[in-house]
Structures are given as structure tokens and as C-alpha cells.
Amino acid sequence: MFINSIEKNTFIVKQEAARIGFDFCGISKACFLEDEAPRLEHYLKNNYHGKMDYMANYFDKRLDPTLLVPGAKSVVSLLFNYYTDKRQTQSDAPKISKYAYGVDYHEIIKDKLFELLACLREKIGDIDGRVFVDSAPVLDKAWAKKSGLGWVGKNTTVITKGKGSFFFIAELIIDLELTPDGPIKDYCGTCTRCIDACPTDALINPYQIDASKCISYLTIELKDELIPNTFKDKMENWAFGCDICQDVCPWNKFSEQHQHPEINANEQMLNLTKTEWYELTEDVFKTIFKKSAVKRTKYRGLKRNLNFISSS
């Protein structure tokens, strides 16, 4: 039995999250995501997930956190800023998404989540829960929206008012009752810059994406030997991921340099010339991208991407 009040526990959660390094923390009641159910069903039915077959698994668990953590009462959503003013030094070099400039965030954020959970157990008491960073059937954007960390924009990213969208999202699902935060309003207004700028027309409608057309999907998630020829001349030199719909978003003019040295940009990668990219050997790949998210494509996948954009 917890001796602290719900309000006091909520304060502790947010205080410790900030101390450990998370930029924003919001809380939702752990409940069935009723509004998301028809959206997810429509997304899957229309094959907008492409060949990401895992998206069709655990449908119920994606919508109900109590199936992931029995007895769950709260979902703690956390944002971790990854925006950087650093840029690739060669303007004609194949482009890499900003989130992959530094060390792969998964383990770094997971360690911080475990630290947060340990701190809560020490300060509050016996808490059962799990941590999540892109590794389980959790609708992280829906929970971030529900907890008031931002709204889901027309480019389908979570946008935080006055801070932008260059954030990693993570969750703690715990059996501790906390005071929930409410959602905020949508501030996209009549703007359609993200939709207008998408070169592959992946943003088929405001707030709706066909991931199978997204450059990030094509260069990372798609494991086929070849990228479909329908995307020739549409990749805009992206070799891993894509930031177009975020770069054009007016809210991202408020993005600020992150204060997380553990994910500082890999200068060696940023300084690669166009020639060095295309002459990349597997040994050099393993050296430069040893701790990078880029290694997700494996050497073969990155070479596939490079060959495709070079022939466009």
C-alpha cells in the first residue's frame, strides 16, 4: 500500500523524469484506446503498413495496456529531444535522418526508463510495470497525444507546441494510480506544407499516412532486395530515413538543440563525401555505424538504397 497521495506520486514521477533527462512527461489513465481502434483497423485493412507484418500482430494489446501489464493504471509518456543544429557537411552527399546522426537511441532511452522505474520504486514503493521504446505493441503517438504532450499533426508526428516534433517517444506502463493530464488542441490549422512537400505522396490525407510509400519505410523497414521502380526520381537523395515532412513544418522553427551528449552527432558520418558514401566498404560500414541506428539496414540494405538513389 502506498503512503503517498496520488498527487504526490504524480509530482515524483514528473520530477524524476526530468532529473533523469526526459524533456517532457505526460500521464494518461491506462484504458482501452476506443478512438484508435477503428483507425488502426482501417490502417491495416488498407495495407498502409506495407510489409511491416508485425503491425498486424497483437491488435488487442496495441489498444489495451492492461493486456501488456496486468493491473496497469497509468501510462507515463515521455519525450526525448533529438534535434540538432548539426548537418551533413557535403550538400550532395546521400542524406540521413537527423535521428540517426548519433548513437542508436533505443538502449540509451531504455536505460533511462529502467532508472526511472527503479527511482519510483525506491521513492514510492512496490510498483509493477514495463518500459517501452519501439519494442512492443504500444501506440506511442496515441498515448503522447492523450497525455497532452502534443497533438498528432497532419504529417502523423506528435508536435509539441513551441518545441516541434523532433522527439523520441517512450512509455512506462505501471500499476500506480496517477493524476492524468488531458489532451491539448490541434494547432495545425489550415497548413498543408507537409502534405504538399512529400515527394512520394505518402501523406494521402491530412493525419493519414500510407507508410508503404514513405521514404523512411522504403529505406529502413522494407527488406526487399529492390525498392519499387515507382519511386524512381522521388527519393530526393535520402539513403536512410526522411525528415522532409518535419523540416517543412512551421512548428519546427522552434526546435532547439538537444542537451543529451550521449546522442551527439557522429562527426565522421556527417563528414562523409558523396564519393565516400558510394565507395563504402562493409568494414568501413561496421566501423562508422557500429553504434548507429543506420546499422538496422545492414550493409546490404544501405548499398541497395544508395544504388537506387544514384540511378534515379
- Other CB atoms within a 10 A radius of the CB of residue 145 amount to 23
Reported in sequence order, the residue ranges of the chain that DSSP labels E, i.e. its strands, are 24-29, 74-81, 95-96, 129-132, 151-152, 158-159, 167-174, 203-205, 208-209, 238-240
Residue 215 has pLDDT above 70, yes or no: yes
74-92 pLDDT, tens digit each: 999 999 999 999 999 999 9
Radius of gyration in angstroms for the set of CA atoms belonging to the chain, rounded to a whole number: 20
Supply the pLDDT for residue 308: 98
Average pLDDT on 60-73 reads: 97
Supply the pLDDT for residue 3: 54
149-174 pLDDT, tens digit each: 999 999 999 999 999 999 999 999 99
Contacts of the segment 276-283: beta carbons below 8 A, 24+ positions apart: 277/93, 277/94, 277/239, 277/306, 278/94, 278/306, 278/310, 280/306
Please report which confidence band the pLDDT of residue 1 belongs to, taking 50, 70 and 90 as the band edges: very low
CB-based burial, 77-95: b 16+ in 10 Å, e otherwise: bbbbbbbbeeebeeeebbb
> Cβ distance 164 to 151 under 8 Å?
no
160 pairs with which residues across the strands?
164
Q: How far is CA 244 from the centre of its chain?
A: 15
Residue 24 has pLDDT above 70, yes or no: yes
25-53 pLDDT, tens digit each: 999 999 999 999 999 999 999 999 999 99
Supply the pLDDT for residue 2: 47
| pTM reported for the whole predicted model | 0.95
Q: Which domains does the chain have, with CATH numbers?
A: 6-85+103-174 (3.40.109), 193-310 (no CATH)
Residue 312 has pLDDT above 80, yes or no: no
Residues annotated as catalytic are 134
Alpha helices by DSSP H, listed for 200-281, are 215-216, 244-247, 267-270, 274-278
Residue 187 has pLDDT above 80, yes or no: yes
Supply the pLDDT for residue 4: 62
